[in-house]
Every structure is written in C-alpha cells, then in structure tokens.
Amino acid sequence: MSADPRTVERRATPRVRAVNTGAAAFALPRLTWPRWRHLPREARDTLFLLAVIGWTVLPHTAHLPFWCSALTATMLLWRGALALRSAALPSRWVLVALLLLALVLTAWTHSTLAGKEAGVTLLVVLVALKTLELRARRDAFAVFFLGFFLVLTHFLYSQSLAIAAATLVSVWGLLTALVLAHMPVGQPSLRQAAKLAGRFALLGAPVMVLLFALFPRVGPLWGLPRDAGASTGLSGEMRMGSMAELALDESIALRVRFLRGKPPPPEALYFRGPVLGHFDGDAWRVLQPRFAAHTGSEAVLRPLGEPVDYELTLEPLRLSMIPVLEATPLLPAFDDLRTVQRADLHWITHRPVTERLRYTAQAWPRFEHGPLEAVPGLQDYLELPAGYNPRLLAWASALKREARLAADDAEGLAALLYRRIRSEGYSYTLTPGTYDDDGSGDAIDEFWFDRKQGFCEHFAAAFVVAMRAAGVPARIVTGYQGAERDEEGTSLVVRQSYAHAWAEYWQAGTGWARADPTSQVAPERISRSRALLARPGFVAGAIDGLAPGLLTSVRALWEGFDNGYRQWVLNYSRGSQLNLMKNLGFSSPSWQDLGIVLAAVIIAASLLGAAWAWLDQRRSDPWLRAYARIRRAALAHGVSASESLPPRVLAATLEHELGANAAAPAAQALRALDVLRYARQDGATLSARAAGAQARRLAVEGVQALQALPRPPAQQPLSHPFAPTSR
C-alpha cells in the first residue's frame, strides 16, 4: 500500500525535540527527510534528472569559469529544493535576468559569445536554466536533448577513457529519465526504467559498432581551429626552468615498440624534437637560417652500424612537429598530414598534430650528420646577444687560450667543460630556484659560477653558450630521453617527465656531435632512465608508506586499459578501415568499396528490422493469448467479444446470457484477468514472467469453467450488451 500523504507530509516537516541538560532545556530542530520511495513521482523524477545533469556538467568544471560552475550548482540546488517542497517555479522575468547575467559574464570572461569556450559556457548555463522552467513534458524533452548535446561537448576537450566512462553514465542516466517520462501514471521504479534504458542502449550498440567501423572518416572530428595552441609537452622554445616544470608531468607522451633489430640501450634512447639555435638572452627558439642549407635528409645524415625498426604511438602534441627516435631519416605518409625533415633532423608538419598518431619507421642509433667542412650556415650557431652573461663569455675565451687548443678542436673543448661539471660541485635538481631575479640577463652566469644547481636546460644552455663564446658552433636539442617498460613488458613508455634538453656542437670532419652535460652530473638519468621525481603529496606519501608500489601498480593497470582503448578506438583511422576491407576480401579497397559495403550493411539491417517487426506483430503477449482462449470458449456457448473490449465486459455478458450463477466462475477469472492488466490496487508490480504465469492460470480456470457448462444448441453467436450495432 502507498503511504498516506499526511504521513509523508509529517515526515518531511522538521520536528522539535526537547533536550533537558540540567537547569535549562533547549529546543533543537531535527529535520527528517522522506524516503526516496515516499516522494511524489514528479519530485523523484525531477531530482533524478537534476542529479544526471549535475554529473554531466561535473567534468566540464575543470575548464569552466568559476562563476559558471557556481551559478549552475546554485540553479540545480534551487530547482531540487523547489521539487522537494512542491513550490512554484520562478517567473520568466527571473529566468530572463539570469540569462542576461550569464551573457554578460560570458562576454566579459571570453571576450566573445562565439567559439568553443564561450559556447560550452553558455550551453551549461542554458541547461541549468531550462530545469527552472520544467513544467510540462515538452520542457523535460528539451532538457534531455540539451543534455545529450552537452555530453558531446566533452570530446572537444578530451577523448580519454575516463571521459568516455563518465559520458556512458550520463547517456544511461538521460535515457533512464527519458523512459520515465514515457511511463504511465503511478510510481514505476527507477530500477525498472534503468533496465529498460540499458536494454535499448544494448539493442542500438551493434548499429553503433557498424557505423564506427564503416562510416567514412573525414579528418579529426573533435578539432577546432582555436585548438592549435600548444598545451603541456614540448614547445618551440625553452626558458630556464621550463623543462623542470615539464618533468613534474607524469602523463604519457609516447609509446615505442621495437620490431626488428636489437633495441638500443637506455643511454641511446634519444627522441629528437625541436632544435633551438636562436638565443636572445632570455629564451631559446628554433633558428630561421639566413643562409641556404640542405633540406633533404640524404644530404646531411650518414648512418652508422645497424638500424632498428620501431613502432611509435604519439599522443596529440598540438604542435607542428613529430618527435622521432634518433636518427630517423624517413617517415610514412599520414592521412591529411604532410611532414618535412629540416636539415637539423627535426621533423615538422604543415599543421599542429591534434590527433593520436601511430607510425613505423627505421632509425640508426649511431649516425653522423651535418656538413663536414665549414659552410656559411654555421655562422648562425655562433651568435650570442650582446650584453648577456659577460663572465661566461670571458671565461670560455680564456679557457680555450689557456688550454692551447687548436681552433678546430671542438671535442677537446667539450671535454674541458665536462671536467668542470664533474669536479666543481654542480648538482642536478628539479628545484634550483629562480635565476636572474634582478632582470640583468645574467642567469647563465649565475648558474655557472655561483649557485651551480640546475636541471637539464641549465646545463645544456651553459654548455652551448660556452662553446659559442669559444668560437665553436653549437645548439640545443629538445626532446625526450629514456623510457620505462609498460605494464605488459612489450613496449616502452615515455612520459612527459622524460623531457630532456641536450647540446650539439660542430666538429670539422665529423659534423654535428651530441653532447649531454647532464650525463656528467647525473649519469643515472641517462644510463638508467631514472628521471627526477617531485616529492609526493601527503595522501600519496601515506598510501605509499602503507603499501609501497600500490600507486605505481594502479597507475600501470589504468594505463593498460587506457592504451587498449586508444589503440582500438581512438587510433581507428581511414587506414584501419581500408585494412578491414582487405580482410573482407577486397584486394585494393577504395572509398567507393567502403560506401558499397556500408550501404549493403544498412540494407541488410533494415531488412532484418522489418522481418523482426513483422514477426513481432504476429506474436501476442501471454495476457492476449490467455484472453483469446477464454473468448474462444465463450464463442462455443454463443457469446462473442472482440479483442478491443476488456475482459470485464465479456464477464458481464456471460452473466447476462448464461445466468449469474452458472457463469460466476468464468466471470471471476475474466475480472481477475482484467485487474491483472489494467487495475492493480495493491501498488505492487509483477515481473513479466510472473504476470504471464498468472494470466495462463486464469485462462485455464476460465476455459474449464465454461467447458463445464452444457453446450447450447447451434445458433447465431450472441453479442455482449455493449457491442456496437451496424446499420
């Protein structure tokens, strides 16, 4: 039985109980909320929908303005309070005022009302506002479909496995709310609606999989022109401390798997990124050469030893570049992405890399590159800004004179710099502090002579400035160094924390030679791929103290699932579709073949759906079959009834035609069958199996009761008193 409304009202009303503490008595309010199943259906369904909207908005709070998150939470809580109290909704003037406030704040925050950021901000506010005018079913439908559109906007920011899981929960919740809106009056359970929504989603899953596999891909679906800016990771410039900040990022930058050849040792795992040759005293940037240089890799690269074949999966960098294992002279062709290798072996692209890439290539860990004799272009790598770091410039010039090195002995000068780093007490640290506080432009001087504490960019920058001051062309190379085994042990994982900066100097007769000053102060960083780690927080430190290695194991497990999701879902590209066509028997598949297969699948699915609908029309549910059996038995006694009339009408007809006493057992079965279908008064719900069994039992009782009656002589079948007559 359902609860008395007065009881529900008393339960929802705050009660006051007296607490006597000696001489004084205090009245303390105690609020007792009604249980979920005692709430009115409208309030319960509204609260459920608000919870789903809140869950859908939650991942957006990481990039929404604070005022938007606060305003959205306030409106959702306000609407929930109104639902609990069954209070009136705010007037339209209040909603218009809130909308104008959101428009003004959006324009003030984003300086526009167009674009991705402003659009998502307004969409979140509009969804919350729409809940405040949730009066009719059409308003609920508007909220449902705005919620589905809001789910899609998550992929404008991230396509990670966590976001995918969160959106699946949101879609299930929105489908459940949609099912509730179509359910009849009463108090259908949320569990029943959720099961029905899940069943519908599973029925649509095969169609989704087929469209995912065969629908033509037309470039990155979730990229916008404004997404081209760099996020975390390598960039086209380097300042003192930038690499140290990047080393705190434990996200995965790339994965590499070796296919053929002996994998290089850890000290040879250099993944080349931007090469920085221009220094303005503050930042190092990619050099735009003033002199013509070779652009073909064949002219500058001289492989040595045996190559290795590798497969590299690169996360989106949002930069116009591709890091490669040194040295990689050739890259495969990418869909809608053109690549060019500069003379410094740095691979660039014609647009930012905004999607995940996977490619196979061949690298030579041992190589030489660059001109063997002095060319005009080398002068660009000797330039230093005037007035910066005067102590280091003077010291480097004096060092070369005092050591009596030949003018072209760059290797000997590099050995002297290595010796100083090893013997003068330099330390390798993530927290060297801020250099050049006074803005004098002498940060490298301060590092080299005074504090002697730094990260890889400090050592590489000081090394290159010293080499240039001594008359040796030199430059900085950024990228990644080292890797760790993945959770399966089949490939290597390179994290952002493995970001590294090293140097190259030019030696006559050899070309450009790699020099990594970090190896002289922290050899384990290079030889064992042991990157510096930041001090863990309180919670992480406590967990690691109780269960050492637990966080590492959990992270490895999660990254394994995430990698599988990326390989099979996010990396499914046009090439994957064509490979699928080859597996289906097409020797040289084209987009026309893909369209033909897709059309054939759609036609076949439509025919199957039509056949299923035809069979479903011919199939009756257990209740209809039970009612049909009793109607056939009644027809044998001269009483007929159509399918559209309820069983209680047939029961009244039998009592009228056959007598109340004689037809009483059959009429009782018919009325029970009617109650089973239309008018249960106890508020209980039966499962489909239990309802079918009860309908079959009532059919047997009704048929047996009618068969026990004597058959009347053959005559025209009698109709029930309420049957329509034809003219």
For residues 692 and 660, the answer to whether their CB atoms sit within 8 Å is no
Give dist(CA 393, CA 395) in Å, integer: 6
Residue found by looking up tokens 């504090």 in the block:
451
Give dist(CA 481, CA 273) in Å, integer: 11
Say how far residue 368 (Cα) sits from the centre of its chain: 42
For residues 268 and 304, the answer to whether their CB atoms sit within 8 Å is no
Give dist(CA 493, CA 558) in Å, integer: 14
Asked whether the bond before 415 is cis by omega within 30 degrees of 0, the reply is no
668-689 b/e (C-beta count within 10 Å ≥ 16 → b): ebbbbbbebbeeeeeeeeeeee
Amino acid 232 reads: T
> Interior CA angle at 98 toward 95 and 100, to 5°?
110
Give dist(CA 144, CA 484) in Å, integer: 45
Amino acid 32 reads: T
Beta-carbon contacts of residue 171 (< 8 Å; ≥ 6 apart): 148, 151, 201
Active site residue 346: no
Number of helices and strands in the chain (H, E):
24, 23
The DSSP code for 233 is S
Residue found by looking up tokens 């809940």 in the block:
131
Active site residue 500: yes
Give dist(CA 695, CA 677) in Å, integer: 9
Active site residue 516: yes
Selecting among 500, 637, 674, 720, the annotated active-site residue is 500
Asked whether the bond before 327 is cis by omega within 30 degrees of 0, the reply is yes
- CA distances for 614 relative to 196, 207, 608, 610, 611, angstroms: 22, 20, 10, 6, 5
Alpha-helical segments (H) within 217-256: 242-246
Selecting among 442, 486, 516, 674, the annotated active-site residue is 516
Say how far residue 184 (Cα) sits from the centre of its chain: 36
Nearest to 283 by CA among 132, 385, 180: 385
Long-range contacts of 43-48 (CB under 8 A, 24+ apart): 43/83, 43/84, 43/86, 44/187, 44/190, 45/177, 45/180, 45/181, 46/79, 46/80, 46/83, 46/131, 46/134, 47/80, 47/83, 47/84, 48/173, 48/176, 48/177, 48/180, 48/190
Selecting among 456, 458, 674, 720, the annotated active-site residue is 456
Kindly state the helix (H) or strand (E) to which residue 313 belongs, with its residue range: strand 308-314
HEC string of 410-473?
A: HHHHHHHHHHHHHHCCCEECCCCCCCCCCCCCCHHHHHHHHHCEECHHHHHHHHHHHHHHCCCC
Give dist(CA 393, CA 445) in Å, integer: 9
Tell how strand 718-719 and strand 639-640 pair up. Answer: parallel
HEC string of 322-374?
A: ECEECCCCCCCCECCECEEECCCCCEEECCCCCCCEEEEEEECCEEEECCCCC
Beta-carbon contacts of residue 394 (< 8 Å; ≥ 6 apart): 469
Amino acid 281 reads: G
Give dist(CA 136, CA 123) in Å, integer: 21
Nearest to 491 by CA among 419, 564, 550, 402: 564
The encoded tokens of residue 356 equal: 């995940």
The DSSP code for 39 is S
Nearest to 481 by CA among 334, 305, 269: 269
Amino acid 180 reads: L
For residues 410 and 480, the answer to whether their CB atoms sit within 8 Å is no
Which are the catalytic amino acids? 456, 500, 516
